[in-house]
Amino acid sequence: MSEVYEIRASAHFDAAHRLLDYDGPCARMHGHSFRVEAAVAGSRLGPQHLLVDFLDLRRLLEEVVAPFDHNCLNEVSPFTQVSPTSENIARHIYHMLAEMMPRLPQGIRLAWVSVSESPDTKVVYREDA
């Protein structure tokens, strides 16, 4: 049996959006306080007996979501071309974080990203190996 540690960090941003190709009230401009959570996983602890410092993961996540904060998502790339649904937001954040993984200790992989528009909803995006 192998050990796997999973570390999670979260960030939030406030933004407006309207869903494209949607028949309902969310087709109109509206806002949310989005909460984003990311998890990394690995089995090898570093010299400080940490997989990764929570602060390091949170800083990366905050760097990725900063362009969204207090903006209209429909006017921020890539959502000028694709509907800013929670699913698409989660996928975009996942791919941005995946590119940043070399900034974290070796042997850590991005496990998943979740996006919540409200306390009652959450999308989780992951890519199977």
Q: Tens digit of pLDDT for each residue in 10-24?
A: 999 999 999 999 999
Domain residues of the chain, as ranges? 5-125
pLDDT tens for residues 72-87? 999 999 999 999 999 9
What's this model's pTM, rounded to 2 decimal places? 0.95
Whether 49 is catalytic is: no
Whether 117 is catalytic is: yes
Could you please state the CATH topology (level 3) that the domain comprising 5-125 is classified under: Tetrahydropterin Synthase; Chain A (3.30.479)
* β-pairing verdict for 71-72 and 5-17: parallel
Catalytic residue among 17, 62, 70, 87: 70
Catalytic residue among 26, 62, 63, 95: 26
**In this predicted structure, what is the pLDDT of residue 129?**
67
Catalytic residue among 17, 32, 92, 117: 117
CB 87 within 8 A of CB 125: yes
pLDDT tens for residues 102-112? 999 999 999 99
Whether 26 is catalytic is: yes
